[in-house]
Each structure stands twice: as C-alpha cells, then as structure tokens.
Amino acid sequence: MNKILVIIHQVTSDPGLVGQILHRYGYTLDIRCPSNNDPLPLTMDDHKAVVIFGGPMSANDDETLPFIKTELDWIPVALASGKPYLGICLGAQLLARVLGATVKPHPEEKVEIGYFPIMPTSAGRKDFAEPLYVYHWHNEGWELPAGAVSLATGETFVNQAFRYGENAVGVQFHPEMTEEMLKKWTVLGAEHLSNPGAQSRDEQLQNHAVYAIAMEKWLTDFLHCWLQQEASLAG
C-alpha cells in the first residue's frame, strides 16, 4: 500500500514540500478537494495515511461551508482506522474541533504570518529535538484537546503541535512551504501582511532563505517516523 490520501481546500492548493518528500519515499498522492465536490473514502483501507492541509476558511465554518462539515464528520473515520493522520494548520484545527476543543482567533486579534520559532515540550522532544523556526499563516488557534499531548509551543499562539493517540498529529504551521509557494501566497494574500503580527514579504523571503534547509530536514525525518507509526502499531 503506497497511496497517501491528501485533502486540500482549494483546487489551486499545492502539497509543496510535503508532497515532494512523500514522492521521494515512493508514495503516490490521492488528492481530494471536498470544496470541489470530491468525495472522501468510506474507509481508509486503500490508503497508508492521510494529510489534511490548510486553507483560508475557518474550522468553524461548518454551518456556512458544507465541505467543512463533511470533513468534520469524516475525520473520525481516519482516526478509527489507526492510520497516520497529519493535520496542517486548518487540518489540525479541524482535528482539534473533532476532539472537542475550541478553535478561535487570538484574543488581541494578532496573526502569525511568516517565520516564527516554536519550542518543543518535554513530551515533544522525539518529534522536535530542538527549537525550530517554522512558517505560519493563520489568525486562529486551537485549545489543546482533552486527551491530547502538546508537542510544541509558540509565543503568540501557544499551541503549535499536538499528538492524539498514537496515530494523529496536528501542527499549526506550514511545513510544506516552498519559495515558489511563499512568493505566491504573499502576492495573493498581500492585504493580510498589514495585520498585527505579520512579517513583510521581504522579511519572509529573507527568513525562508535562512530557515528552509532546517525545515526540510526536520520534515524529512518527521514524515519518515510518522509513516512508520501504523507499521509499529500493526506489529
């Protein structure tokens, strides 16, 4: 089984570095876009794992965006399968909501857009051996779900990564970011760069040149370990 289910929220979305590394590991991507009426599988039997990416919508939009409700209703299927689950930004916030946690904006209306450091917790040192500068683009964060373990924290939005059970991980940041994607996002979303907490386009590009190599190394190692989780459970 070498197929990874990839859920995106816009037809123009790019799995970026996550997709590139999964391809390097020999996996194929089964990309589904529920907002474009792509169906989600009834079971995870045909897939090794699932990655749910981010998007400009909110995890709280289930009453106005039917596909958000569809995903909230479907995520328990992924969790029950025991297959590895990775939620990135919105994908992590959706997971948090399914687990009963609240997703909401920063109390001072701050955002995180650009490269900011995260710190591993004592429980997160297997996943984050040291502090890491990672790329963010979000104005909402989650409360830590009951039963989940915090893996990393940040200054503006405290909760940056968590694990639920043995198979599910949510991260607030965007490890898939490439230089090409960063240039595209900062043009299409230029109006957000004036929000409190956002870095300028130039600053983001400069930081990407500094931190991208370490980010890719972390992601390469993380995805390898994450994909072995189901094998260790099955064993």
- The answer to pTM > 0.85 is yes
Are 59 and 68 a contacting pair, CB within 8 Å?
Answer: yes
* CATH superfamily, with its number, for domain 3-234: Class I glutamine amidotransferase (GATase) domain (3.40.50.880)
| Structure confidence by residue, pLDDT tens digits, 192-205 | 999 999 999 999 99
Domain boundaries defined on the chain: 3-234
| Structure confidence by residue, pLDDT tens digits, 67-84 | 999 999 999 999 999 999
- How would you class 180 by CB atoms within 10 Å of its CB: exposed for 0-12, middle for 13-18, buried for 19 or more? exposed
pLDDT at 119: 97
pLDDT at 230 over 80: no
| Structure confidence by residue, pLDDT tens digits, 117-128 | 999 999 999 999
